[in-house]
């Protein structure tokens, strides 16, 4: 399939941005992933602050003109092993600008040092505190962070706790058992994620627990009584069917879930919105969805 010049550039950045995983340490991989994303600076017009919520470190990003009383809690990607709040601040700025909200990025604990359910525990702590402090709240996340966002929704619902107004997911990782058809059908077109990489990340995070544990692979949770969800995913991704199946399950359970598939896009293409027009378009779509559902 032909690639546009911007998409080819982004895919090359993905491929060139990581050392050989067979020889690299986790610290090397983490540093490389952060470096890949930190080359895109947050505009000076934004307000970026580091802090802590419920004992969990956070980075808060507010674009110029965005509201401070309307909040999006965004869980960053990285397979529960890589990624950091600081490295995802530029994309958070894009979401803040598009939705007119303040974005809170929790630096939840990562595997393998902290296995499941450490990330979920941290996410629930932050989510609960934010929901207690603000009236207008949404959740979201990309890749594993998208799975963590859904796990947090399920956990709060099962506790009878308040829920946010809506949730946005970008290329969510929802199934560590890798049971979707796109895992194999899109193996040749996904340059960022593979059956093998999901297997390795799952081993680091789950450390022997069932791959279909509902709060680790929330595709296998119950999906009733959840807020409206928008899932955005690239047609070339191995995780395409995670989003397809989740939206089907939420709608079948009586909820509202929208699926937006971007032709030929790579994993979490919104990270490269300054290069990819489709990345900027997806952020605008997410922003419009959030703006529709979050009311101060």
pLDDT (tens digit, 9 = 90+) per residue, 119-129? 999 999 999 99
Of residues 72, 127, 88, 142, the one with CA closest to residue 287: 72
Catalytic residue check, 267 = yes
Whether residue 130 contacts residue 139, with contact meaning beta carbons closer than 8 Å, is answered with: no
- The whole-chain average pLDDT of the chain stands at 96
pLDDT (tens digit, 9 = 90+) per residue, 73-120? 999 999 999 999 999 999 999 999 999 999 999 999 999 999 999 999
Catalytic residue check, 143 = yes
Q: Which of these is catalytic: 11, 90, 211, 237? A: 237
| 140, HSE (Cβ side, Cα atoms, 13 Å) | 32
Grade residue 1 by pLDDT with cuts at 50, 70 and 90: very low
Q: Which of these is catalytic: 76, 93, 267, 293? A: 267
Catalytic residue check, 132 = no
Contacts 24+ apart (CB under 8 A), 281-284: 282/170, 282/232, 283/91, 283/94, 283/95, 283/97, 283/98, 284/98
Q: At what angle do helices 26-38 and 89-99 cross, to 10 degrees?
A: 40
Measure the CA–CA gap between 183 and 172, rounded to whole angstroms. Answer: 13
Q: Which residues contact residue 166 at a Cβ distance below 8 angstroms, ignoring those fewer than 6 apart?
A: 138, 139, 227, 228, 229, 230, 289, 290, 292, 293, 294
Say which residue the tokens 């895992």 belong to. Answer: 183
Tokens of residue 263, six digits: 């032709």
Tokens of residue 261, six digits: 């598939």
Q: Specify the pTM.
A: 0.97
Tokens of residue 214, six digits: 């509902």
Q: Which of these is catalytic: 11, 90, 96, 143? A: 143
């Amino acid at each position: 399939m032909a690639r546009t010049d911007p998409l080819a550039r982004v895919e090359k950045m993905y491929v060139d941005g990581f050392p050989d995983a067979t020889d690299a340490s986790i610290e090397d991989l983490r540093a490389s992933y952060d470096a890949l994303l930190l080359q895109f600076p947050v505009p000076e017009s934004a307000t970026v602050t580091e802090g802590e919520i419920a004992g969990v470190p956070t980075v808060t990003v507010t674009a110029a003109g965005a509201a401070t009383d309307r909040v999006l809690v965004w869980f960053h990607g990285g397979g529960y092993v890589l990624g950091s709040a600081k490295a995802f601040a530029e994309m958070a700025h894009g979401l803040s600008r598009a939705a007119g909200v303040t974005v809170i990025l929790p630096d939840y604990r990562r595997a393998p040092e902290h296995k499941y359910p450490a990330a979920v525990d941290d996410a629930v702590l932050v989510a609960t505190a934010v929901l207690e402090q603000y009236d207008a709240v949404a959740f979201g996340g990309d890749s594993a962070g998208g799975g963590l966002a859904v796990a947090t929704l399920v956990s709060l619902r099962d506790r009878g706790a308040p829920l946010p107004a809506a949730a946005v997911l970008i290329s969510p990782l929802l199934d560590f058992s890798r049971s979707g058809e796109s895992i194999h059908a899109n193996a040749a077109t996904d340059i960022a994620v593979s059956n093998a990489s999901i297997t390795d990340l799952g081993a680091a995070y789950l450390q022997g627990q069932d791959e279909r544990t509902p709060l680790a692979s929330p595709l296998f949770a119950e999906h009733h009584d959840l807020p409206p969800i928008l899932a955005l995913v690239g047609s070339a991704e191995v995780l395409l069917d995670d989003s397809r199946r989740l939206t089907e399950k939420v709608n079948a359970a009586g909820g509202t879930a929208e699926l937006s598939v971007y032709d030929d896009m790579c994993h979490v293409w919104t990270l490269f919105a300054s290069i990819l027009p489709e990345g900027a378009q997806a952020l605008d779509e997410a922003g419009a969805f959030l703006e529709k559902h979050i009311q101060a």
